[in-house]
Structure formats: C-alpha cells, structure tokens
Amino acid sequence: MTTKYISASIPTLKRLPRYLQVLKALNQEENMYISATKIADELKVDSIQVRKDLQSTGIIGKPKLGFELKELIQSIESFLNWDNLTDAFLIGVGSLGQALLGYENFKKSGLNIIAGFDIDEKLVGKTIRGINIYNINKVEDLIKRMKINVAVIALPANNVNMIVEKIVEAGITAIWNFAPVHINTNEDVIIENVNLTQSLAVLTHKINERKNKDGGTK
C-alpha cells in the first residue's frame, strides 16, 4: 500500500492548530459534520483558505455536509504528528524553562518533556512540575542511553552553540530553540527557532507605522 504524501506550507501548518482548537471545543458526537465555512466564521478568516488547509491534511469531506468532526480532528493531529508523544529533554531550567514546563498543552501537541538539565546546582536534583532536573554534564550520556531525539533549548545566549554541537553529536535531530540566538546546524537537524525579538519587531514597526500615519497629516 502506498500512502500519498501531502506537503503543506509553513503558513498552513501554523493555522492548523487554530482549527483544532475550534474543533475540540465542540461536542464530539458520532457522525457530526462541520463545514470549512463554519470554522472560518468562528475564526473570522476566509473559508476558502480553511478548506485548502484542511485538504492538505489529506482528509476527504462530503459535499453539502462538510467534514466528519472526529475524523477531521484525527486527520489534523495525525498530520502534525500530535497523535504520537515524542519524548524530549529540556535544556536550561531558568525562569523561561520553568515557564515552558508549565505549559501542559505541549503534551496535547505531541511533545513530552521527560527531564530537565541545568548547570545551576540549586536546581539539580529538584523536581519541577513532576520533571526531574539533572546536571547538564549528564545530558549527552542520557540522550544516548534513552535514545532521545528532540531537545527544547531555553538557555541564555552564551554557550548555546557549544551545547548544541554536543547534543547533536549525542543524537539530537530536532531542536526547539528559545535561546536568543539563531541556531544553524547541518541540514539533517530540524531547527525551529522561537525568536521573541522577531515578533517584537513586527509589533514595534506596526506601532511606528500607525504613529507616522496619524502624525503625518499635521
């Protein structure tokens, strides 16, 4: 059996969780159908886009009815790999790392943080929100022994690249990076950089834009 592989653009991937959120808020009764139009109305976005996005998950709908609710949820989750839990290590358990441990939603999104690592002796040995914190010097050994492939990095800027090199060497193949440093490694490693400064740039420029518009007429 061959499964047709469907790809999706980054913008589409980023919209899918919003649809999922709407869908999960509904009563998931058997044989309930929901249309792209309904989802679009709810989110105040364009219905054609919703339809296209849903199609990229591979689901097939029924004209007039829409998409079977449970099947649709399953289709999106499966497309995003959210129906499998992937174990991950958290590297850096400062305030940001601890905040990330607080997001219980990650588990719903397929990511299971099973241990934390830090250099700070005051943290090592502690348990935060049920997660044990180990000394950072144990991370390579544990990556190998537990065959961990995913790391969440919440370190300060310095030393990030050195640690990345080490953990990639030890077996990490995907990194979710919260450090204020853009990580670039070879192409075999999947990197998702969460750069707050980039987000702030969009916000501050928009503020500036509005200011110029308002002030420009005086």
Nearer to DNA, 51 or 126 (CB): 51
44 binds DNA (CB under 7 A): no
Give the separation between CA 175 and CA 183, rounded to whole angstroms: 9
55 binds its own copies (CB under 8 A): no
Cβ-based burial of 92 (10 A; exposed 0-12, middle 13-18, buried ≥19): buried
Sites for DNA among residues 156-175 (CB under 7 A):
none
Sites for its own copies among residues 137-196 (CB under 8 A):
149-150, 173-174, 176, 180, 182, 184, 190, 192, 194-196
Nearer to its own copies, 117 or 178 (CB): 178
The mark string for 124-143 relative to its own copies (x by CB under 8 A, - otherwise) is --------------------
62 interface partner picked from DNA, its own copies, none, CB below 5 to 8 A per type: DNA
Determine the interface stretch with DNA among 17-25, 65-73, 116-124, 134-142 (rule: CB under 7 A): 65-73
146 interface partner picked from its own copies, DNA, none, CB below 5 to 8 A per type: none
Give the separation between CA 93 and CA 128, rounded to whole angstroms: 9
Give the separation between CA 49 and CA 61, rounded to whole angstroms: 15
Sites for its own copies among residues 18-47 (CB under 8 A):
18, 21, 43-44
13 binds DNA (CB under 7 A): no
Determine the interface stretch with its own copies among 12-20, 47-55, 61-69, 161-169 (rule: CB under 8 A): 12-20
> Which of 48, 103, 132, 146 touches its own copies (CB under 8 A)?
103
φ/ψ of 6, rounded to 5, equals: -110, 135
